[in-house]
Each structure stands twice: as C-alpha cells, then as structure tokens.
Structure 1
Amino acid sequence: MSAQQITSPIEEFFQLQKDLDGFTSRFTKEISSKKRQIIDDKTSFNIKVNDLKSEEVRLTSQINQLDGHRSELQRKIEESIINFEDRRAKIDELHAEETKLNTKKLELDEELNGINNQINEINNKIEKLSKNLEDQVVQDDVELVKFERYLGLRIEVLKEDLMKFRFSNLDASNLDKEFWIDLNIAEEFQITGSFPAMGEDEMAPILVEFNQSQNFGRFLKQIRQVLKSNI
C-alpha cells in the first residue's frame, strides 16, 4: 500500500477556489438559461394571453351577433306562428265555407231537380192540352169555319203558349172593327189580355168551365157574347 500524499493548505485553497469558480460558472450558466427560459415562457404566455384576449373579443362579438340573430329569429318565429295561426284560422274558415257551399249546392241540385220535374210535368200538360186543343179544333172544324165566315173569327199564334183570337162583326155600327182576347195555354187556360177589357167576374166562370170541359167551340161562343156585351 502506497503512502498517502500530503496536500498543503495552499493547494487545497486553490483547488477549492477552482471548484468554486467552476460551480459559479455552471450556476451562472444555469441561471442564465433558466432566466432565458422564463423570459421566453413569459413572452409566449403573454402572446397566448393576447391571442386568448383577441379570441375572447372575437367570440364575444360572435356571441353578440348570434344573440342578435337569435332575437331576430325568435321574432320571425313568433311572427310565423301568428301568421300560421291566422292562416290556419282562415283555412278553417274556408273549409267551413266550402262545407256550407257544398251543402247549399246539394240543396240547389235537389231544388233544380224538383224544378226540372215540374217543367217536365208542365211540358207534358202543355203537350196534352195542345193535343186536346188540336183534337177539339178538328172536332169543331165545321163550327169554326162558320165562326170565321159568319162571325169574323181569326186565330193567330203569337208564341208556342200564347194565342190571339180576333172577333169582328160584333159592332153593328162598324162590322170591321176587331175585338180580341189573348189566351195563354201554358198550363191552365188563362186570358192574359182583351179588348175591350173583360172583368174578372166575367172571365172566371168561362175559364173554369173551359179548363174542365176543354170544349173549344163553347168557349169561343161565350167569349164572343161577353165581348159583344161590353161594346
């Protein structure tokens, strides 16, 4: 085993100073590095804070815009709901009106069918009366010829349901003077006009008998007598 070397105090001092200088250098470098790191971190932090503040401002602006859009959207939704309710009420009203119109149409269709049936019945009666009148005219042809020849009777067809009967040889002072009646044959026989004017009490019994008997010759005789009595 070798003998230990003895170090003098001066050598120990220089060695200690050397070690201290090394430590100081390392410590200074470490502190500088940490300081730079802190400065860099602080700078980065400040940048991030500023970025976050900018982002906060941007997001706040967007939130405000969204709040405005939401308020506007809410207003439009409320208006749409009101409009929808108004339209739904109008649609319900139109549906109710349509139902009423359909019901009214059915009623009118039924009424129209009834009127058409009545028209058909009237037309049938007119055809029957016209046929009866034609048959009566043929039956009384000889008598009518006598009327036309001796009593001055002329018959005119004004319309399909209206005839005019002209009488002359009634007024002794003027044999050519004509007197007339208009006879409606649409349903029941009716006198719609005459010259000279005939009273209701004069026409009524003649028409009642004529509508019952359909005796055309007798009807003309009675009319002639009434017209002559009114001269």
Structure 2
Amino acid sequence: MSVLRVLPALLSAAGGEWDNGVCSPTSDVCFYGETPAAGLISGNDLLTLIGASAAGTKHNSNVTWLRVAAGGQKLYIAQKTILYGVSIGTLRALGLLSLTGQVVSIGGKTFRVRTLCGSISNPWSGGAWAADPSHQYGCEWNKIMYRLYGGGGVSGEGIPYGELAKYSAAELGLLGDETPGSRTLLVANNTNNYGLFRGTWGPMGHSYGTIIGAPSARGYRPVLQLIE
C-alpha cells in the first residue's frame, strides 16, 4: 500500500513541485505528479537543445513530464517518447545513452539529459523479445515505470504494478509496435553497438539488438535529472 510522506533531503528552493510525494514503502521511489511542457520544455525544443533533432522523427512535442525522486535524484521523465525511428549511434554520439548524459540549462536550472537505465550488466546476447526478464531486476526502469503503470499484479522481483500511479499503457506510450515510439531505448552498460529497449504493451517488454521490431517503434524517452 502506498504511503504519503515527504523526504526532507529532496526539498529545495524549487518549491511546491517537490514538497509532497506518494512514496513506495519498500523502495526509495516517490512520485510527485506532473509538469506540463509549458512549465518546463517542449519535446521539440529539448531535441534542438541537445542536438538530436535529426536522430529520428519527432512527435509528442507537448509532452507531460512525470516528477519522480529515486536514488536521491529528482527526475523529470517524459510521459511518452518524443522521438521515434531513433538512430542508436546518433544518440550514443550525443552522450544521451550514458549516465553522464548532457548538461543543459532550462529556465535558469541545470539538468542532466539522459534516459532511464536498464541492467547494470551486459543485458543480453541477442535480440529476442521477453517480458519482465530476470536479468533486468533492480534496474532503474523497473523501479520507476513498474510503479507508475496501473496494470495490476506484481512483477517477478516483487514490485507492485501501479503502486504509485495508475497510468495505462496508452498514457505512457507503451502499446504495440504499430505505435511509433512504443519501445524506449535505455542506458545500458554494453560494449557493442546493440540497443536495449523496454516497452510494448506495458513497461515489462524487453528487447535487445541492432534491429528491434518495427523501425518506427524504437523511441527516445528523455529524463531530465535536476542538478542542485
């Protein structure tokens, strides 16, 4: 059962956006609600800022940002992907598939632009699809997205789906391959040119390779990590 509490270490001059959250009683993940594009940055403006406009096809520019605290970090996570048909090589070259990401200034605040993280180990040796695979247990994607997806039930590692929010697969842009950007490219500690993708009919889907599903399904979902 979710509990309401405030994490003092996360309170700052940023004000009301981070004053209260719905927090997991069994992890360090808290959900603080939504910020509209007009209150932060649009998808198209962000892509221009980080030099990624040509990495694929832009969509969902009027993106809503989900405010999540996890691992001692304040994150603004795009509710849906803002780019599809992505070039893995281009995003890597721009530093967007690493924990260091790109550091930018938006509205007078400093952010690290990256994406969510998959497994901290080399995630897989092939491109087959799987749902909620055990080698992804403990990763940032699972910790956050499983708790925001209101699909009901419990994951293999014991995370209650929808513990903090009840977004549908459609609201999170996680439908089938016919939906542009339905698979999200993640940060992964792999040493080849493969990409790690999560999504397809909810956040549980996992695929790994150079060519994953329909090209239009491969999407970039940015995370803005607030630097204070």
Asked whether the two chains share a fold, i.e. TM above 0.5, the reply is no
Higher-helix-fraction structure: 1
Higher relative contact order (CA 8 A, sep 6+): 2
**Rg: which structure is higher?**
1
Higher-strand-fraction structure: 2
